[in-house]
Amino acid sequence: MEIKTYRLCTAREMDIVKTFECGQCFRWNADKHGKYTGVAGGFAAELWEEDGSIIISGGGSEAFWREYFDLDRNYEAISSGFNGGEYLDRCVEFGRGIRILRQEPWEAMCSFIISQCNNIPRIKGIVERLCNLAGNPVYLGETEYRSFPGAETVAALSLEELAVLRSGYRARYILDAAKSVAEGRVDPERLKQLDYRSAKKELLAMNGIGEKVANCIVLFGLGHLEAFPVDTWIRKALKEHFPPDFNPDSLGEYAGIAQQYIFYYARSTGNE
DNA sequence: AAACAGGCCTAAA
DNA sequence: TTTAGGCCTGTT
The predicted-structure confidence for A20-55, as pLDDT tens digits, reads as follows 999 999 999 999 999 999 999 999 999 999 999 999
Residue nearest to nucleotide C7 (CA to C1'): A169
Give the CA A97 to C1' C6 distance in Å. Answer: 41
3-state secondary structure chain A: CCCEEEEEEECCCCCHHHHHHCCCCCCCEECCCCCEEEEECCEEEEEEEECCEEEEEECCCHHHHHHHCCCCCCHHHHHHCCCCHHHHHHHHHHHCCCCCCCCCHHHHHHHHHHHCCCCHHHHHHHHHHHHHHHCCEEEECCEEEECCCCHHHHHCCCHHHHHHHCCCCHHHHHHHHHHHHHCCCCCHHHHCCCCHHHHHHHHHCCCCCCHHHHHHHHHHCCCCCCCCCCCHHHHHHHHHHCCCCCCHHHHHHHHHHHHHHHHHHHHHHCCC
C-alpha pair distances (Å), A120 with each of A20, A22, A28, A79, A138: 12, 10, 12, 26, 24
Asked if strand B contacts A206 at the CB level, meaning under 7 A, the answer is yes
Can A212 be counted among the known catalytic residues?
yes
CA separation for the pair A185, A34 (Å, rounded) = 41
The per-residue pLDDT for range A175-200, each reduced to its tens digit, is: 999 999 999 999 999 999 999 999 99
Q: CA A119 → C1' C9, Å?
A: 11
pTM of the model: 0.97
Segment A202-246, tens digit of pLDDT = 999 999 999 999 999 999 999 999 999 999 999 999 999 999 889
Give the phi and the psi of residue A55 in degrees, each rounded to 5.
-105, 140
Smallest CA–C1' separation from A125, nucleotide: C10
Overall residue count recorded for chain A in this entry: 272
> What span, in angstroms and rounded, lies between the C-alpha atoms of A113 and A92?
27
Q: How far apart are the first and last CA of chain A?
A: 44
Query: In angstroms, rounded to a whole number, what is the distance separating the alpha carbons of residues A3 and A58?
Result: 5
For residue A112, give the nearest of A204, A194, A16, A192 by alpha carbon: A204
In whole angstroms, what is the distance from residue A23 CA to residue A108 CA?
12
Closest residue (CA to C1') to nucleotide C6 in the complex: A169
Q: Residues 6 or more apart from A161 whose CB is under 8 A from it?
A: A133
pLDDT at position A271 is 60
Q: How far is the CA of A219 from the C1' of B9 (A)?
A: 23
CB-to-strand B under 7 Å, chain A 43-102: none
CB A174 within 8 A of CB A134: no
* CA–C1' gap, A113 and B6, in angstroms: 11
The Cβ of residue A42 has, within 10 Å, a number of other Cβ atoms equal to 15
Q: What is the pLDDT of residue A95?
A: 97
**Which is the catalytic residue, given A35, A124, A179, A212?**
A212
Could you tell me which of A70, A54, A71, A73 has the C-alpha nearest to residue A15? A54
The per-residue pLDDT for range A132-177, each reduced to its tens digit, is 999 999 999 999 999 999 999 999 999 999 999 999 999 999 999 9
pLDDT level of residue A15 (50, 70, 90 thresholds):
very high
Task: Report pLDDT for A272.
Answer: 44
